[in-house]
Amino acid sequence: MTKINVVILAAGQGKRMNSCLPKVLHKVGNKPMLEHVISTALSLNPEKLIIVYGHGGDSVKSSINESFLKNNFIWVFQDKQLGTGHALKCALPHVDNDGATLVLYGDVPLISGGTLRHMQELYDGGVVMLTAQLNDPSGYGRVVRDEGFQIKCIVEEKDATQSEKFINEVNTGFYILPNEHLGKWLNSLENNNSQSEYYLTDIIAKAYKQNIEIRYYTAEHNYEIMGVNNKLQLEYLERIYQCKLAEALLEGGATLLDKSRIDIRGKITCGMDCIIDVNCVFEGMVSLGDNVTIGAGCVLKNVVIGDDVTIRPYSIIEDAKIGPNSQIGPFARLRPGTDLIGGAHIGNFVEIKNSIIGQNSKVNHLTYIGDCTMGSGVNVGAGSVTCNYDGKNKFRTVIEDNVFIGSGTMMVAPVTIRPGSVIGAGSTITKTTEANELTVSRARQVTVKGWLSRRNKD
Nearest to 52 by CA among 112, 96, 3, 92: 92
Residue 370's alpha-carbon distances to 86, 115, 305, 336, 387, in angstroms, are: 58, 50, 20, 10, 8
Q: Identity (one letter) of the amino acid at 371?
A: D
Compute the C-alpha angle 383/384/388, nearest 5°. 130
What's the pLDDT score for residue 457? 81
CA distance 268 to 436: 44
Superfamily holding 237-439: Hexapeptide repeat proteins (2.160.10.10)
Distance CA 83, CA 130 (A): 19
Residues (pLDDT < 70) of the chain are 1, 458
Q: For residue range 275-303, what is the model confidence (pLDDT) as tens digits?
A: 999 999 999 999 999 999 999 999 999 99
**Residue 178, preceding bond cis, omega within 30 degrees?**
no
Q: Is the pTM of this model over 0.75?
A: yes
Smallest Cα–Cα separation from 78: which of 100, 108, 56?
A: 56
Question: What residue ranges do the domains of the chain occupy?
Answer: 4-225, 237-439
Q: pLDDT tens across 418-437, in order?
A: 999 999 999 999 999 999 99
Strands (E), 185-314: 214-218, 255-256, 262-270, 275-276, 280-288, 293-294, 299-305, 310-311
Model confidence pLDDT, tens digit, residues 214-250: 999 999 899 999 999 999 999 999 999 999 999 999 9
Q: Are 167 and 152 in contact (CB under 8 A)?
A: no
The active-site residue, picked from 55, 94, 221, 365, is: 365
Average pLDDT value over all residues in the chain? 95
Contact 27, 240 (CB under 8 A): no
- CA contacts within 13 A on the Cβ side of 224: 21
Whether the Cβ atoms of residue 97 and residue 5 lie closer than 8 Å to each other: no
CATH, domain range 4-225: 3.90.550.10
Whether 86 is catalytic: no
pLDDT of the residue at 1:
64
What pLDDT, on a 0 to 100 scale, did the predictor assign at position 383? Answer: 97
